[in-house]
Amino acid sequence: MTMELKMIPVNKVQPNPFQPRESFEKESLKELADSIKDANIIQPIVVKQFGDGFQIIAGERRWRAAQMAGLQEIPCIIKEIPQERVLLESLIENLHRRDLTDVERENAIHELWENREALSFKYKTELAEAIGVSAHRVDDDLEAWESRHEKGMPSSVSTRTISRTRGLEPEIRRRIAEKVAEGDLKASEVDVVAKVIRKAPEPIKKELLEPRSFVTPKMAETIVDKLPNEEDQTLVLEEIKRERLTEDEVEERVIDIKRAREAGEPLRKEMLVQEGITYTVGEYECPPLQKTLSNQVRWEKGLGGIKLFEEPIPNIDGMIVYFSKTPFDVVCL
């Protein structure tokens, strides 16, 4: 493959229809154009002979910025390559410059793989070697392309986010990606979510995938990894939802439950509510409990959430009593 460095009029150069990049931000182009004006220098673009002019292989963004800067000529490296390899060369150049978004890279690699016979590629490893990336990267990009185009994955999430959910049910993968796209889940938490979902019971899976769930990935991981008993897992899950526990409080609660299990103690302790005291939960208050309530209302220590006792309590006249996790916390509605 021969190459030649030459100054070429900008109007003799045309864009590449196989350009992997799908968009060029105006503000970014303007910044580059201003930089070219100030320094009066531009890095060469890569082109091929095309008819009476030249076609860009790599460097369309620099070519556009050069036009904005008012340059009449632009330095070009002229390569002699067959037309069917233009996309391959463009992708290689852009990959090494890190100029592509995930979606643009996925589209380009998919296009190359679809045209593998013309490019004399039989295996994905050969394509990976040709463009200078790992075979694992090619697999991830092709699988991500399929997930976006055939399974409705959001375009705003990264290839890595999609690849980390591989092996899960399509609907679960889509819901995880949507939570990331909506800012409800950090991309860095996807590994933990996928790990938990692969082994968690259904209630935890369901809650973790709910929009704006109070159960964070770290909470779910703590519950599943440290509490093998599903009954205990469900108990903590309900406490999180009702009492809005923090991640540290979940850790403490798990330790309490494990200690109680080992000692053969009940997970919930009872005590009597003292009469004549105003009991508070959050911003809510109820009037002093009447004597008729004494010895009839229970507070469950360590419940970790507001608990509704559905059994009727005599002499309350329809009042519903809720309980909270800290001592003497009761709210009457």
Q: Which of 332, 322, 323 is nearest to 288 (CA)?
A: 332
Mean pLDDT for the chain overall = 77
* Domains assigned to the chain: 1-97 (3.90.1530.30), 101-185 (no CATH), 200-267 (no CATH), 269-332 (no CATH)
Q: Which residue has the tokens 């935890």?
A: 204
Q: Which residues pair with 79 in a beta bridge?
A: 3, 48
Q: pLDDT per residue over 125-155, tens digit each?
A: 999 988 888 999 999 999 999 999 888 888 8
- Place 17 in a pLDDT band, splitting at 50, 70 and 90: confident
State the Cα–Cα distance between residues 264 and 254, nearest whole angstrom. Answer: 15
> Is the pLDDT assigned to residue 215 strictly greater than 90?
yes
Residue pLDDT, tens place only, 268-303: 544 344 444 444 333 333 344 433 333 333 433 333
Residue 287's Cβ-count burial label (10 Å; 0-12, 13-18, 19+) is exposed
pLDDT at 309 over 70: no
Write down the pLDDT at residue 131: 84
User: pLDDT band at 305, cuts 50/70/90?
Assistant: very low
- Number of neighbours of residue 179 by Cβ within 10 angstroms: 23
The residues, any chain, with a CB within 8 Å of residue 221's CB and separated by 6 or more, are 192, 195, 196
Q: Mean of the pLDDT values across residues 61-73?
A: 88
87/28 Cα distance (integer angstroms) = 24
- pLDDT tens profile 147-183: 998 888 888 999 999 999 999 999 999 999 999 999 9
